[in-house]
Amino acid sequence: MNVPGLPRERRRDFDAEVRRRAIKGGIAAAAAIVVVTIFSGFTTSLIVATVVVLALYAVPWDMIRYGRWVVPGVAIIAAIAYPYYVDDLFELPLFGPFPSVDTAVTMTIFIMMAIGLNIVVGYAGLLDLGYVAFYAMGAYTAAWFASPHFAESVGAVHVGSVGVSPEAEGFHLSVWVVLFLAAIFTAIIGVIIGLPTLRLRGDYLAIVTLGFGEIMPQIARNGDNLFGTGFNLTNGAQGINPIDPPGFGETISDWTGLPVDYLTFNADFLGRELGGIEVFYWTAVVLLLFTVFCSVRLRDSRLGRAWIAIREDETAAAAMGVPLMRTKTWAYAAGAFFGGMAGAYYASFKSGTFPDDFFFNISIFILCMVILGGMGNIWGVIIGGGFLAYLNQEGLGNIGAEINETFGTEIDVPLYQFGIFGAILVLVMLFKPEGLIPSARRKAEFEEGVHDEPLYDVTQ
Amino acid sequence: MATQARRLPFPTLAGRLPDYVVPAVAFLLVGLLLVWLGVNLYKTPNEFYRLFLIGLTNGAIYGLVALGYSLVYGILELINFAHGDVFMLGGMLVATMVAGFGLAGDSGLFLWSMILLMLVIVMAFCAVLNTTIELVAYRRLRHAPRLAPLITAIGMSFILQNIALVWKGARPTSVDSILPRGEVFTIGGVAYTWDKLIVLLFTVPVLIALLMLVQRTRQGKAMRATAQDRDAAAMMGINVNRTISFTFFIAGGLAGAAGLLYALYITNIRYDEGFRLGLIAFTAAVVGGIGNLPGAVLGGLVIAMIESFNNGLGWATPGSDWTQSIIFGLLIIILVFRPEGLLGERTPEGG
């Protein structure tokens, strides 16, 4: 095999590796086909999917020049084309059909949040148990600036809004503006929370963030009459709705054919009837790609290396001249940025925001994603986040139905959701603390046992 | 532990401000608090006494739970998130036993012996449960990074909550009221009832016994030594694993006792009550100075008083909607400005 870009002397290693992987992957693929066929029936899509996965696995792409772009490239294309082939996909045993596009939107948004949290927990090693506060902040920013909530106080303020009548009162900013506004606003909140608290280490920091995570939803719940002044900030337990949908407006739509607004969108494109949900999904994928790109670039930057240095040994990092406070605060701000953006987009997707969405378990749920996938590794976090969000949305229901049908039982599997996430946390930490797909560096840390506890205290 | 000076693992914000700032702010806050309490006392004295008695009783229960956090933190430097849920499961067990034994309406010697029996059962149950949690979830992680056991603790807490949810459902489980609720004495027109007194009569001896255990016995000495330096303690011939297990055992027993008192006094308990109360109790432990046993009880009293006054007083009071925010706000302020707590000692390394 003549592989372009491969030096002659490495060709032999390459061929041996391909052979080894082809045999190993082939056996696994054949087993997978047999299992799926027995339990769920055979479809052509099964063969196609197996061939694609096998092809991606069998070739050691990292040994070829430009090869490392192949797997992410195929994954991105597969993700973008998802609405086109989801209905034809095979069913998995136990899990049932693949997630619907609606679920896929939620999954994508939660993956974004997990990547944001991964910056704080995975890169910088600061345990944040109150990440839901950032999610809430983003969602409420979207609710303030793209809904009729402030109708009485501000009149009609419109900046590129779509999907609402021009006379509608309240702030109506374009959702694209709101996304970045929410992200920046949340990042500022992250810095404000971080500045006094980031001096604390380890579990003390975890407790303080937990405290903020509990205070935020309470403010959301009681904010309809803030401190008795009668000022309605959050509309209390009813939440704020409707929130404007994203969209591009008439002018851009005339030029490019992009949807005017997502809720009423309906078109025929490449042989498939498209509704708002598909456009929501693609937008979420684009936002996710933006998040992944920023996260990877941040990790490889000077700042990212400083985060990892702090995670591995705070004292040594300080001795090497890493400014502890500034670096940690940046980690907080970056994590909060993506959490806020994801929260704002989710609020716009659901067209509302309610204080009951921001419980402590959401923080743990997102933490669970990061830990399951592998702290510090983006690809691990994407897979862990996608899997857990899927379980939460429809997976547990499917599994429950499947189990009850097979064994004739009456188990309400979604009731065990808490316990399952708790068990994931415990089992992963006990048996594979570096996660399912660890970064090599993190793995080494867990094996050697890095101690957070320094010998001496070092102020920045 | 009580007598040992703790080293703080981080630089504090207070260290960077001029010396007089923190005391000045603290005095200002305490002064405002006293003014607020004074005005309320003047305006509605009866209400004030009533809330004070409620706070005293709740404080005893919070203190019992906080002691468990404090003990475990003292020895392992681990926030045992599952502790509140052990407490909650204890309460649920008591609810089941009260219904199962058919105690509603009983009185006299039979009732008291049954309560004692339930106390023994629930303490044993919670102690064994807590020790098992340590064995399963924390022991393997002794040498892992500090965050690892913290994460398993959260996981265990979720598992226990789920067990209670499946066992008793999502609605509060009500417990038959079996404690006598007649009045003992009256101050300012407010009756102090027997059930409140019983809670105090439970807590005070337990605290004294625990202090004696930690300060006077051989086992207590082993606990203090292990807390101070695990490796050195092992070299001195102390069985570290057994000492840690024993600490978890004691903490679990305290949680069980608190669960019994809570179930009998409040008369209903919910699956997520343990987590909520656990956070409050942890705050209490931090307020009092974590690792400091009398501090934990003091912290419990302070937190319970704040909660009770804030829920009930009329003048310039945020009200029960904001109780949790106030408690966590206090936690954050304490951690940032005085992480060694009210009774904790300042040490050269931490100051």
DSSP state of A268: E
In angstroms, how far is CA A329 from the centroid of its own chain? 21
CB-CB contact of A84 with A272 (8 Å): yes
User: Going by C-beta distance under 8 Å and a sequence separation of 6 or more, which residues neighbour residue B288?
Assistant: B66, B70, B294, B295, B296, B297, B298, B299, B300, B302, B341, B342, B343, B344
The pLDDT of residue A2 is: 54
Give me the DSSP letters along A368-433: HHHHHH-TT-HHHHHHHHHHHHHIIIIIHHHHHHHHHHHH-----GGGGHHHHHHHHHHHHHHH-T
pLDDT at residue B351 tops 50: no
Looking up tokens 């949340």 gives A186
**Residue of B141, B328, B347 best to disrupt the A interface, most CBs of A under 10 A:** B328
Partner residue opposite A446 with nearest CB, options B144, B152, B157:
B144
Residue A359 has pLDDT above 80, yes or no: yes
Q: Are strands A272-274 and A267-269 parallel, antiparallel or unpaired?
A: antiparallel
> Model confidence at A170, in pLDDT bands (50, 70, 90)?
confident
Determine the average pLDDT of the residues in A357-378. Answer: 87
- In this prediction, residues B112-137 reach a mean pLDDT of 93
Please enumerate in sequence order all residues whose Cβ is within 8 A of that of B297, keeping only pairs 6 or more positions apart, or say none: B59, B60, B63, B66, B67, B203, B207, B288
User: Which has the higher per-residue pLDDT, A398 or B344?
Assistant: A398
Among residues B313, B334, B311, the alpha carbon closest in space to that of B321 is found at B311
Of A222, A423, A457, the CB nearest to B11: A457
Tell me the shortest Cα–Cα distance from B225 to chain A, in angstroms.
Answer: 19
CB atoms within 10 A of CB B342: 15
Residue B65 has pLDDT above 90, yes or no: yes
How does residue A5 score in pLDDT terms, banded at 50, 70 and 90?
low
Measured between beta carbons, the chain A residues lying within 8 angstroms of B349 are 456-457
What pLDDT sits at residue B345?
A: 58
CB B9 to CB A364 under 8 A? no
Q: How far is B230 from chain A (nearest CA, A)?
A: 14
Query: Average pLDDT of A92-112?
Result: 90
| Ranges A19-23, A221-225, A358-362, most confident | A19-23
Rounded mean pLDDT, A428-450: 75
CA distance A208 to chain B (A): 6
Give chain A positions within 8 Å (CB) of B338.
Answer: none
Owner of token pair 């656990």: B278
Q: Residues 6 or more apart from A413 whose CB is under 8 A from it?
A: A396, A397, A399, A400, A403
Mean pLDDT comparison of A296-300, A406-410, B269-273, highest-scoring range = A296-300
Q: Please answer yes or no on whether B279 and A214 come within 8 Å at the CB atom.
A: yes
Which one-letter amino acid corresponds to residue A114? Answer: A
Per-residue model confidence (pLDDT) at position A6: 63
Which range scores top for mean pLDDT: A44-58, A221-235, B183-197? A44-58
Q: What angle do CA B207, B208, B210 make, to 5 degrees?
A: 65
Residue of A nearest to B152 (CA): A426
**A455: pLDDT confidence band, cut at 50, 70 and 90?**
very low
Q: Given a cut of 70, is residue B84 above it in pLDDT? A: yes
Q: Can you tell me the mean pLDDT for A260-289? A: 85
DSSP, collapsed to helix, strand or coil, labels residue A170 as strand
Please report the pLDDT score of residue A7 as a whole number: 67
Find the residue in B nearest to A194 (Cα). Answer: B336
Query: What residue of A is the nearest CA neighbor of B8?
Result: A457
CB atoms within 10 A of CB A130: 23
In Å, how far is B341's CA from the nearest CA of chain A? 13
pLDDT (average), residues B119-124 = 94
Q: What is the rounded CA–CA span in Å between residue A420 and residue A412? A: 13
Contact list in A for residue B83 (CB cut-off 8 A) is none
For residue A52, pLDDT beyond 50? yes
In this model, does residue A386 exceed pLDDT 90? yes
CB pairs under 8 A between A and B: 162
Given pLDDT bands bounded at 50, 70 and 90, which one contains residue A459?
very low
- Three-state SS for A278-301 is HHHHHHHHHHHHHHHHHHHHHHHC
CB contact under 8 A, B335 and A207: yes
Q: For the residues B288-316, what does the mean pLDDT come to?
A: 86
Residues A222, B321: C-beta atoms closer than 8 Å = yes
Contact A426 B156 (CB under 8 A): yes
What's the CA dihedral at B289, B293, B298, B300 to 10 degrees?
90
pLDDT at A377 > cutoff 50: yes
- Between A460 and B175, the more confident residue is B175
Tell me the pLDDT tens digit for each residue of A182-202.
999 999 999 988 887 877 766
- What pLDDT score was predicted for residue B350? 32
Q: Please provide residue B345's backbone torsions phi and psi, each rounded to the nearest 5 degrees.
A: -100, 145
In this predicted complex, what is the ipTM? Answer: 0.84
> Percentage of chain A with pLDDT > 90?
27
If you average pLDDT over every residue of chain A, what do you get? 84
Q: Which of A199, A214, A451 sits opposite B328 (nearest CB)?
A: A214
- The dihedral over CA atoms of A455, B1, B4, B8, expressed in degrees to the nearest 10, equals 30
**d(Cα B213, Cα B255) in Å, to the nearest integer?**
17
Do the chains contact at B332 and A418, CB–CB below 8 Å?
Answer: no
* pLDDT above 70 as % of chain B: 93
Please answer yes or no on whether A457 and B159 come within 8 Å at the CB atom.
no
Residue A447 has pLDDT above 70, yes or no: no
d(C-alpha B350, C-alpha B289), whole Å? 13
Q: What are the backbone dihedrals phi and psi of residue B173, each rounded to the nearest 5 degrees, phi first?
A: -85, 125
pLDDT, position A262: 80
Nearest-CA distance A30 → chain B (Å): 36
Q: How far apart are CA A258 and CA A251, in angstroms?
A: 10
